[in-house]
Amino acid sequence: MRHSSLLKLRYDGGFGNAATTSASASFGASSVSQAFEIEWRSSAREIPAEDWRRCFPSPLEGLWLYTALEEAELQEQFCFAYGVITRNHEIVAIAPVFEAILPISLVAPGFVDWALRLGGRFLQHLRFQKTLFVGCPCADEGTVGTAPGVKLDEIARLLQRALWQRARRRKAACLVWKDFPESSWPALRALFGEGLCEAVSYPGTRIPRIGTSFEEYLARLSGNRRRNLRKKLRLSRDHVDVEVEIVADPDAARVAEIWQLFQNTYARATTRFERLTERFWEAVCRQPKSRIVMLRERSSRKAVAFMLVVVEGKRAINKFIGLDYAFGSKAYLYFRLWEEFIRFAIEAGAEEVQSGQTGYRAKLDVGHELVPLNNFFRYRNPLIHFIASHLAKRISWSSLDEDLARAIRSRGWSSTPEM
């Protein structure tokens, strides 16, 4: 049986030392009636669904995603928990966190991992460290959900101190606020006095306006991108004849097809954060918000491509894809899948598309823009933290991903977002 943590921290807007007094105004006046408290829950279901809806309103991914992750039997990879912040006994914020042992190569430039490899087993513990993350392993952006009228900067200091206590108690080497968007940066930068440092992360991708038809979407692309996409779709139709299925709550046979196609694409990925299991697909496909866009080769009825899609309000989220690469590059299955996704998203009432991190070359080709995301971190070991804080200044989009580096060179973009 799972139990909630009884540890509580209290925060009433005041600070205990002169170094932080100047920041107290942004956190509100000190009073018992305005005090925030935090406690930990070990399951998403221990938090009432209504509080999830208030703190994670659409288009944020909330209870359904964390429930699916807990059902997916990912215990060997992740340990989930939820910081619940209350005021006057009412839940006003939910901070999902997870623990994982991950390679430093996911966030550091290649030369850092290379240098640590040279140290052999003596530096092995630096290459793979237990980390406490704020956010979600499968969400496009890090989010601390807040109720209406509550802002992140009001609770960030309380939350950071509770997180740091938890990291020490759980013997995590590092605490990371993972992939937080620009709207969160001022509140998190205000915590530099708590020891946090900042590093560029893999950007997200989105199309803010897809139009009301596929032709209108095409018209919004640049001329070169529009011509290239039309050409790829034409060549694909000449190469392979497919039909489309839009599936809710797929049966076991379809889940098995999804799992195999996902494995094909996962094996080709250059950046891997989570290893999703077949049990995950069984859990996530049952969620009411989930839809599977699937392509089948018409004559054989074989599944050749799929996309897991979640429609949250006016946003359609392209979560995961899987392709059958046996048809060769001329099949352009990704672009056929993309066309059907856009058609489905428009029909479902979506106005924008979010497609997450990595796979940037294809996403830029179909009109995505990059969404800056940053990590905020603190190591428990002061020496490692000092080194990491200096190395973080050398991390850029170009150093994280070769597709981004090529796009930056060809388009003359800045290698990093504004910091």
Answer whether residue 85 is part of any domain. yes
Are both 273 and 297 inside the same structural domain? yes
Q: How far apart are CA 133 and CA 91, in angstroms?
A: 21
What pLDDT is attached to residue 18? 27
Are both 155 and 262 inside the same structural domain? no
Answer whether residue 188 is part of any domain. yes
Q: Show the tokens assigned to 145.
A: 């959900």
Residue at token pair 């092995």: 124
What pLDDT is attached to residue 200? 94
What pLDDT is attached to residue 407? 82
13 has a pLDDT exceeding 50: no
Q: How far apart are CA 42 and CA 209, in angstroms?
A: 38
Are both 165 and 25 inside the same structural domain? yes
Question: What is the share, in percent, of the chain residues with pLDDT greater than 90?
Answer: 63
Are both 347 and 383 inside the same structural domain? no
Q: What is the mean pLDDT of the chain?
A: 85
Q: How far apart are CA 32 and CA 193, in angstroms?
A: 25
What pLDDT is attached to residue 74? 81
Are both 79 and 219 inside the same structural domain? no
Are both 196 and 222 inside the same structural domain? no
What pLDDT is attached to residue 103? 66
DSSP state, residue 279 = H
Residue type, 296: R
Answer whether residue 212 is part of any domain. yes
Q: What is the mean pLDDT of residues 153-161?
A: 96
Are both 261 and 179 inside the same structural domain? no
Q: Is residue 152 very low, low, confident or very high in pLDDT (cuts 50, 70, 90)?
A: very high
272 has a pLDDT exceeding 80: no
Answer whether residue 416 is part of any domain. no
Are both 45 and 76 inside the same structural domain? yes
Are both 313 and 402 inside the same structural domain? no
Q: Is residue 233 very low, low, confident or very high in pLDDT (cuts 50, 70, 90)?
A: very high
Detail the DSSP E strand segments found in 255-399. Answer: 290-297, 303-312, 315-323, 352-354, 369-371, 373-379
Number of independent structural domains in the chain: 2
What pLDDT is attached to residue 92? 97
- CATH number for the domain including 215? 3.40.630.30
32 has a pLDDT exceeding 70: no
Answer whether residue 2 is part of any domain. no
What pLDDT is attached to residue 388? 85
If one counts every other C-beta atom within 10 angstroms of the C-beta of residue 340, the result is 20
Q: What is the mean pLDDT of residues 11-40?
A: 48
Residue type, 89: H
Answer whether residue 4 is part of any domain. no
Are both 218 and 191 inside the same structural domain? no
Are both 210 and 183 inside the same structural domain? no
What pLDDT is attached to residue 276? 79
| Lowest mean per-residue pLDDT among 59-73, 244-258, 267-281 | 267-281
Q: What is the mean pLDDT of residues 225-236?
A: 96
More confident residue, 12 or 394: 394
What is the reported pTM? 0.85
150 has a pLDDT exceeding 80: yes
242 has a pLDDT exceeding 90: yes
pLDDT single digits (tens) 93-147? 999 999 988 766 555 555 555 555 665 555 555 666 889 999 998 888 999 999 9
280 has a pLDDT exceeding 80: yes
Q: Give, in degrees to the nearest 5, the angle at Cα 368 between 327 and 236.
A: 20
Answer whether residue 418 is part of any domain. no
Answer whether residue 320 is part of any domain. yes
Query: Dihedrals φ, ψ of 278, to 5°?
Result: -60, -30
pLDDT single digits (tens) 51-69? 999 999 999 999 999 999 9
- The residues facing 17 across adjacent strands are none
Domain with 225, as residue range(s), is 206-370
Are both 309 and 385 inside the same structural domain? no
pLDDT single digits (tens) 181-216? 999 999 999 999 999 999 999 999 999 999 999 999
